[in-house]
Amino acid sequence: MSECIQTSFAVCRIGIHTCFRALCCKGPPPARPEYDLVCIGLTGSGKTSLLSKLCSESPENVVSTTGFSIKAVPFQNAILNVKELGGADNIRKYWSRYYQGSQGVIFVLDSASSEDDLETARNELHSALQHPQLCTLPFLILANHQDKPAARSVQEVKKYFELEPLARGKRWILQPCSLDDMDALKESFSQLINLLEEKDHEAVRM
Ligand SMILES: Nc1nc2c(ncn2[C@@H]2O[C@H](COP(=O)(O)OP(=O)(O)OP(=O)(O)O)[C@@H](O)[C@H]2O)c(=O)[nH]1
Ligand SMILES: [Mg+2]
């Protein structure tokens, strides 16, 4: 008992980092790099739900995002500070005001949506890919709602969204996903982090 008290007293005195070093013969883990991302997509595409699941929060009772919301999403080798912009009609016209400072873009679409909504999503994605503040950034495009029978396949989405001609020369990842398939989602985020790191290294070299 007294040994226990003495030990905890010692921990307080020498500091937690020194103690960690002494016990494990190495320093604390290096700080993870942080990246600022913007997440866009029509209302109902699943932005908040997917980000909540990545943060180990329950995606139930998610409500439509009014304005924007920011989440720090932790990964093993980086922390992504993701600013989600609400996708309702009356909010989308303000999206571009919130692009500044972004280092990457996440675009979420509902692969099972109506033709009209899919066309609106395509127009929004094209505007984002061509926007001066986003056009040079890595894009992660999530073809969500793949669990639904009406979902378009990833090849159909790629063709419909004309990604090959439009995004040629850009860094982008197209990932089919759903709320039930977190492995696919995490894999695509780790590819996005690789692209963000590459861009970081290029900036240092220049
Ligand atoms: N079946 C199915 N439902 C999903 C999926 N992803 C999201 N949803 C549902 O879609 C609805 C809308 O999801 P949100 O996460 O609020 O969508 P959002 O893109 O954040 O919408 P806004 O904030 O309004 O822009 C919720 O009821 C989710 O449960 C999916 O992959 N499959
Ligand atoms: Mg939302």
pLDDT at 1: 39
Provide the pLDDT confidence category of residue 112 given band limits of 50, 70 and 90: very high
105 C-alpha to center of ligand 1: Å?
18
Exposed, middle or buried, 189 (CB in 10 Å: 0-12/13-18/19+)?
A: buried
- Render pLDDT for 40-58 as a digit per residue (tens, 0 to 9): 999 999 999 999 999 999 8
| High-pLDDT (> 90) share of the chain, % | 74
What CATH number is given for 34-205 in this structure? Answer: 3.40.50.300
- Render pLDDT for 123-145 as a digit per residue (tens, 0 to 9): 999 999 999 999 999 999 999 99
| High-pLDDT (> 70) share of the chain, % | 83
The 3-state secondary structure of 45-69, one letter per residue: CCHHHHHHHHCCCCCCCCCCCCCEE
pTM confidence score:
0.86
Is 45 near ligand 1, meaning CB less than 6 Å away? yes
Enumerate the domain spans of the chain: 34-205
User: Which of 62, 93, 111 best tests ligand 1's pocket when mutated (most atoms within 8 Å of CB)?
Assistant: 62
